[in-house]
Amino acid sequence: MNTASRIEIIAPADALRRQRDGAVIVDVRESHERATGFAEGALGIARGDLEADPQAALPDRNADVLVICQSGARSMKAAQALIAAGYTRVASVDGGTTRWIAEGLPVARDERDFDFYDRYSRHLRLPEVGEAGQRKLQAARIAMVGAGGLGSPAAFYLAAAGVGTIVLADDDIVDRSNLQRQILHTEDRIAVPKVESARIALAALNPTVNIETFQERITAANVERLIEGADVVVDGADNFPVRYLLNDACVKLGKPLVYGAVHRFEGQVSVFDAGRRRGHAPCYRCLFPEPPPPEAAPNCAEAGVLGVLPGVIGLLQATEAIKLILGIGEPLAGRLLHFDAMGMRFRETRLSADPDCPVCAAGRDFPGYIDYAKFCAA
């Protein structure tokens, strides 16, 4: 006889009556699915866990067991597995929790983690993220320099993704000219410190994220205080002295640095992870041993920038930061991604570690911080 033919299929109302007579309802959905509501009194155990060790949850093979899922498909498969494991009285609830709720039967919900499961439900459905990955994001700490064009989209999406702590460093205030591209800020927050404006925007988006503000210009004296404890550092700076300083500090402290830069209609992104991978991954200095002369690299105020361009680059930076925290995919370490908005083209340049790099060469002691403004001006 086919195993499926031995499984009784019952309506939710009948399941409720049998539960009140002593039957056990087992909800075999994942925990994030059960968080939105489950049959009151049901035992929650994911199908994979139930099938791996049914006796841990159901020691009596002669108990009346009613299996429920979202719509009825998984519960049938779980019921078949229980029959195969020697359980004698197993039924599957037709229509699952969807029908149970539609018929107005009693529902329970775990309020403690409801926000977590509801807010990140689309992440939780991704096998590459899942609950374990989302908990990693929740425990992560990201330090960001700049709450402007690059920092705005990066911070927005990192907060939305549930990164537990975001440290934002910027000593500037909001100006009307920022609003064309710096989407963290609004008209009514002109003249407000950018880090405070950013904190307001990010807290409104996701109040579960901890936002730490650092209203200081980044220097050699305070850079380590900013990035200590960070899992990833995101570079949203708009000048070369800070980029070199951040790079050197990340090499010294072994922090992955997600780099981004924009100019007029073009941008670029990379990951510099030389601090953790000496001699294998390049640092910013391997790409730019010397800074370009000031006239060759005017800032946005001088050269202008397409407003949406920092959005594209900032989102790529946020993507790389999330991948680094989760340990998934292939990061941009050793690769420089160029984006040309006018031609709508991406191209990639391979980067290698410079064996003579003064900061990240294998076996080389950290040389110490320098006068970065003087270095870049020279």
Task: State yes or no: is 300 an active-site residue.
Answer: yes
Neighbouring CB atoms inside 10 A of 212's CB total 14
Q: Which residues on adjacent β-strands are paired with residue 141?
A: 165
Whether 354 contacts 289, CB under 8 Å: yes
Single out the residue of 304, 271, 286, 266 nearest to residue 362, CA to CA.
286
| Strand (E) or helix (H) holding 90 | strand 89-93
Neighbouring CB atoms inside 10 A of 316's CB total 23
Structure tokens at 278: 């000496």
Active-site choice (300, 357, 360, 376): 300
Whether 169 contacts 146, CB under 8 Å: yes
Whether 343 contacts 354, CB under 8 Å: no
Whether 227 contacts 253, CB under 8 Å: yes
Single out the residue of 344, 262, 345, 337 nearest to residue 303, CA to CA.
262
The vertex-102 CA angle with 98 and 107, nearest 5°, equals: 75
Whether 287 contacts 259, CB under 8 Å: no
Residues whose CB is less than 8 angstroms from the CB of residue 2 and which lie 6 or more positions away in sequence, other chains included: none
First to last CA, the chain: 85
Q: What CA–CA distance (Å, rounded) separates 266 from 226?
A: 29
Single out the residue of 255, 221, 272, 261 nearest to residue 239, CA to CA.
261
Burial class (CB in 10 A: 0-12, 13-18, 19+), 280: middle
Residues marked as catalytic: 300
